[in-house]
Structure 1
Amino acid sequence: MITEKEESIINQKQGIIEDLKVCISYTPNKENDLLCLMEQYLKAEEKNRRKILKEIERCINGEKYENPFLAYNHYDEKDIRKLDNILDEFIDKVRVISKTSNDLDQKVEEILVDTIFKINELHDKCYGELVDSWRSIRLIELIASSAKGVGYENAIDIINKKRLW
């Protein structure tokens, strides 16, 4: 049976995951896409400009063209699923810790450090684009409130010492 607190934590996690998905979804918009393509053209090396010009031409002519924002996406669905799994694993591990355990603090700290390390690795793999400031705040809240739910009060200190996002 899921408690109200656990449901709140699951909803927090889902909000973070949904935000990540929205950021990589793409809906063609001729004007925005042309601006993006033109910016890429101006910044591109000479050898890459011809390809971008062809995409600009396709866009202007209403033909199918490549998503111009792909160049800016440094994470994809696979990375989002991996973060989702890391957070699920964290929530599950914290949930099963006994509140009366003698070494509660040590167990929670180990789980926290392991989780932060995994998020750091994934964030680094995604060129520092996975966890922006909005997601960082939400992740800290999620992780800290999960730890607090089992009676551990120092999660924010550990998170802030170990996180690279």
Structure 2
Amino acid sequence: MIFDKIESFRNQKQGIIEDLRVCISYTPNKDNDLLCFMEQYLKAEKKNRAKILKEIKKCINGEEYENPFLAYNYYDEKDIKELDNILDGFINKLRVISKASNDLDEEVEKIIADTIFKINEIHDKCYGELIDSWRSIRLIELIVSSAKYVGYENAIDILNEKRLW
């Protein structure tokens, strides 16, 4: 029973992590890539346009060109792995808490606050792009349900007070 519940929290976490990975994966598509390059060209300063034109030419000629969407990626696999580790640590810490502890509320509050602080830091480092509204809802659900599992009912209050995503 305990293992099943912990496993369900890990599955919730994995859904968030997989969504992040999908957003940074890239499959070349000449038409989409040309549109992306053209948008960059129109928005670029004059001094940067020659480089973009070279990439457009490569794309049109069927030569190898750089991923045009890199300009829009504000996080990478390293950031995803860091969030994955933060969430694993959160789940592991809650798993070992004793429900009979006299200081249960204080222990859980500290774990939640520490986790939110770490997520805030990485989210900020990624220019506020790591946690979108879909992921925010999933993270809140994960944290609240995990805290309730160990007997703590006020996780949403800490989240609303401390989260920046």
Fold match, TM over 0.5? yes
Spell out, residue by residue over 1:21-76, the C-alpha distance to the aligned partner (whole angstroms, 9 max, x if none): 00000000000000000000000000000000000000001100000000000000
- Note the C-alpha offset of 1:92: 0.4
Return 5+ residue gaps in structure 1 as ranges.
none
What is the aligned residue count?
165
Match of 2:117 in 1: 117
Per the TM alignment, residue 7 of structure 1 is displaced from its structure 2 partner at its CA by 1.4
TM-aligned CA deviation for residue 2 of structure 1 = 5.4
Letter in 2 for 1:88: D
Structure 2 distance, partners of 1:6, 1:92, is 9
Other structure's SS at 1:3 match? helix
TM-score, length-scaled by structure 1: 0.98
Amino acid at match of 1:57: K
Structure 2: 5+ residue stretches without partners:
none
Give the 3-state SS of the residue equivalent to 1:114 in structure 2: helix
1:160 equivalent to 2:160? Answer yes
In 2, distance between residues paired with 1:140 and 1:82? 18
SS in 2 for 1:164: coil
Counterpart position of 2:66: 66
- Alpha carbon RMSD of aligned pairs, Å? 0.9
Cα distance in structure 2, aligned partners of 1:68 and 1:138: 29
Identity of aligned residues (%): 81
Distance (Å, rounded) in 2 between the aligned partners of 1:37 and 1:2: 51
Relative to the length of structure 2, the TM-score reads 0.98
User: In the alignment, what sits opposite 2:37?
Assistant: 37
Alignment partner, residue 151 of structure 1: 151
Alignment of 1:50-89 (within 5 A): 50-89=50-89
Post-superposition offset of 1:8: 1.1
Deviation at 1:3, TM superposition (A): 2.3
Q: Measure, in 1, the Cα distance between the counterparts of 2:103 and 2:118.
A: 23
